[in-house]
Each structure stands twice: as C-alpha cells, then as structure tokens.
Amino acid sequence: MNNKTGSIENSKPNVWNLISWVFGIGVFAVGIVNTFWGNDTGFGIFLLLLAFVYFLPVNDILRKMTGYSIPKIGILKILLAIFIIWASVGVGELFGKIELMLMEF
C-alpha cells in the first residue's frame, strides 16, 4: 500500500515539471514573437527572461548561486503565469502580432 502512495507522490512532481517546461517554452515563444514583430522589443526580451523561471535547470543554477530556489508548485509561479498571460494576450496584443508574423511567411 505504501508503494502505491509513494508512486503517486513521485508522479505528481513529474506532472508539475512537465507543465512548467511546456509553459516556459510557450512564454519563450511569445517572447520571440514580441521581440521581432510589432514594436515591443523590450517587452519581448522581458518575457524571454521570465520564461527562464519555468525551466528547471535554471532553478537549480539559482539555488547553487544564491541558496534560494523558486518552488516547483509555488504561488509565485502561478501568479507570474497569470500576469504573463494577461500581459501577452490583453496588453501585448499577441494575436495581432501573430498575424503580422504569418503575413511575412
């Protein structure tokens, strides 16, 4: 019975790791779109830097350098994700920039 509980507990961090990687890659892609299309180069670079928060090796490097790490399932990451989505889609007009990008191809 403990084996089942242990395997369930071990599988939960893997799901959060996957979600973190996927969201980080998505934010990185949005950062690239904002950097090269439209007039938001600074905002795009800002998003590229924020994407690194969601990449787990960066968290390990941060822990080694400063002794502090961002929790895998932290309220800070969730609030940051909400801010990124709001800023990218609402304020950053992401869909308009994607249309500009597709018109070039």
Per-residue confidence band for 94, with pLDDT thresholds at 50, 70 and 90: confident
**Considering only 76-80, 86-90, 93-97, which range has the smallest mean pLDDT?**
93-97
Split into its structural domains, the chain has a count of 1
- CA proximity to 83, closest of 53, 63, 58: 53
Helices (H), 37-105: 41-51, 56-66, 75-85, 94-104
Return the pLDDT at 56.
Answer: 78
Domain around 64:
2-104
Instruction: Name the average pLDDT for the chain.
Output: 79
- CA proximity to 70, closest of 82, 51, 53: 53
